[in-house]
Structure 1
Amino acid sequence: MRNPKYPQQHQPRVFDTSFDYKTDTPSRTNPDADKDSQLLRWDHELLWSKELPSEDGFAPKVTTRRSEYLIFTDAKKERHCYGSDAITSSYTTWVKEKNPRSRALVDAIAGLDDEQRARYLNPPYTIGSAMIWPVRTKDYWTMNRARGASMLIADRMDLTLECIRRHYAEEPGSPLAKATTAYKDFFELFVDFKGFVEFFHFQDLIVPGSDHQEIEYFLKPNNFERSGTPATTLEYIEYRENVLAFIEQRSERMANWVTKNHSEIEVRHNGS
């Protein structure tokens, strides 16, 4: 396999927390930044190539194969494939009147004023919203698909993180238990929940002083007894404000990590 090159249009190498990956070489049909953006793929490689909590190295590499996104070859020479996923949602594409599961969400978004709609709907896709998950569909759905298919999770990363916490703690009641179990080898890389949180810069979704036992939810938790989507306009506003704050906080953590570990790369915070 030939060695892929960093995209020429993004030379010299810059890590920009405000860059919208949806604008990076989108396909003409069904544009999808997780598939189309070369820069996002390289930024994933940059961010996640580092030492694991076990002190082993983790180095997912950009590949030129269409069927593969990032590949990590472990010490046993086993190849592991990872795909990109946007972990925050505005639910812009979920608003379908004919879908009874999202009727309350439709009504909630309908209550927004013009300024709120401009702020919350169809936002840019920046690095603070990006995550990688293992891709091995012979075992089960990907985490990406499982998160979106469950209305109890509804693509929410705070609820996903609670499921991952329960996986490490071996607690019952996780709607994503089949997915986290299917990819338990991935979660074992990070030793424990704290290791996972710190590796992927999720510290701002943890309640301070809780010893990683409580999630800082975008909306108040309900023990997975209701849909994860906002049910009222006020809930939607609260959810989106908390999501936007999280994206900014996580982006800053990422930028600081790149500054500390890659002095050769120019880091731009919110474009400057």
Structure 2
Amino acid sequence: MRVFDTSFDYMTDTAAKTKPGNAGSPPDSDSGTPKQRDPDSHSPKLRADHQLLWTKTLKSGVLFEPTAPPKRTDGYLIFTDPSEARHWYGSDAITHSYTGRARTASLAKAIASLNEDERSRYLKPPYTIGSAMIWPVRKKDRPTMNQARGLRSLIADRMDLTLECIRRHYAGEPESPLAHVINAYADFFAFFDGFKEFVDFFHFQDLVTPDYEEVRFYLPFDNFKRSGMPATKDEYVTYREATLEFIAARNRRMAEWVIENHPEIEVRQ
């Protein structure tokens, strides 16, 4: 029986790769250290779980069914729409601890001031399905959603801020920091009958108000006037607690959906 496990850490599903020229060296030797592969590219289980979760019938009646090509080099997931047009998708983590990227001096200081328990909880949590998303990708439209979310400092990889940009797109509201890339991939967002279907489809309900009119932000929102990164220890702790709470809630929603729609699958939480 297939198992869907919301507690599974996809970091454990990718083989460590030794640096070139160091084959056979012990992992802790001076001559070579293993490099963790990116689960978004190399975890077979993550790709299979994406395929399971996002195969659904849209309100339009179209079956959205992204499938894995036989050869990984041909793409991650591909959806062929009713017109026979093919759409490519890639996986991306939608939460960030800001431990492996350029940071402001204040954020670096804030992270350095965390106590041992806080560091254990916030810096390297398991990469579970609740923290994963698929976005459309194609060579002619760069940056992709994956890239733009990280490149735009006003977004800083935050899913709450990303979702606000998507909400504005559907509402036809003034431009957002991601307006250009969202417009480039408007065909992807057009699959969904508005913001509510997008939110429900990808299990983002815990990031919006019950009426779907507003996004619930991790930190107080200032209409994109400042960097999306936390600036103080208090902000960082607030941000990380909010993101971990969201991941847990999204994991539960995903598990409930699989239980309801795939009784043949064993669900673990």
What code does the residue aligned with 2:176 have?
A: S
Partner of 1:59: 65
Tell me if the contact between 2:149 and 2:157 (Cα under 8 Å) persists in the aligned partners.
yes
Structure 1 distance, partners of 2:165, 2:222, is: 13
Shift of 1:66: 2.7
Partner of 2:262: 262
Structure 2 distance, partners of 1:53, 1:102, is: 43
Shift of 1:26: 2.9
Structure 2 distance, partners of 1:218, 1:130, is: 17
* SS of the residue 2:100 aligns to: helix
Give unmatched runs, 5+ long, in structure 1.
1-11
Partner of 1:241: 241
- Alignment of 1:121 onto 2:123: yes
C-alpha RMSD of matched pairs (Å): 1.1
Partner of 1:31: 37
What code does the residue aligned with 1:150 have?
A: R
Partner of 1:4: none
Structure 2 distance, partners of 1:85, 1:221, is: 24
Tell me if the contact between 2:14 and 2:37 (Cα under 8 Å) persists in the aligned partners.
no
* SS of the residue 1:131 aligns to: strand
Tell me if the contact between 1:26 and 1:32 (Cα under 8 Å) persists in the aligned partners.
no
Measured against aligned partners, the alpha-carbon deviations of 1:186-222 in whole angstroms (never above 9, x if no partner) come to 00001200110000000000023xx212110111111
Partner of 2:192: 190
What code does the residue aligned with 2:5 have?
A: D
Shift of 1:30: 5.0
* SS of the residue 1:93 aligns to: coil
Tell me if the contact between 1:60 and 1:72 (Cα under 8 Å) persists in the aligned partners.
yes
- Alignment of 1:17 onto 2:23: no
Q: Map of 1:130-145 to 2, 5 A cutoff?
A: 130-145=132-147
Structure 2 distance, partners of 1:147, 1:133, is: 11
Measured against aligned partners, the alpha-carbon deviations of 1:238-264 in whole angstroms (never above 9, x if no partner) come to 000000000000000000000000011
Tell me if the contact between 1:48 and 1:58 (Cα under 8 Å) persists in the aligned partners.
yes
Shift of 1:171: 1.1
Tell me if the contact between 1:51 and 1:58 (Cα under 8 Å) persists in the aligned partners.
yes
Segments of 4+ moved more than 3 angstroms: none
Select the residue among 75, 96, 100 that pairs with 1:93. 100
Shift of 1:110: 1.3
- Alignment of 1:70 onto 2:77: yes
Structure 2 distance, partners of 1:25, 1:55, is: 36
Shift of 1:123: 1.3
Superposition TM-score, scaled by structure 1 size: 0.90
What code does the residue aligned with 2:215 have?
A: I
What code does the residue aligned with 1:265 have?
A: I
Partner of 1:222: 222
Measured against aligned partners, the alpha-carbon deviations of 1:40-84 in whole angstroms (never above 9, x if no partner) come to 000000000011122211000012323300011111111111000
Shift of 1:27: 4.2
Superposition TM-score, scaled by structure 2 size: 0.91
Structure 1 distance, partners of 2:226, 2:209, is: 22
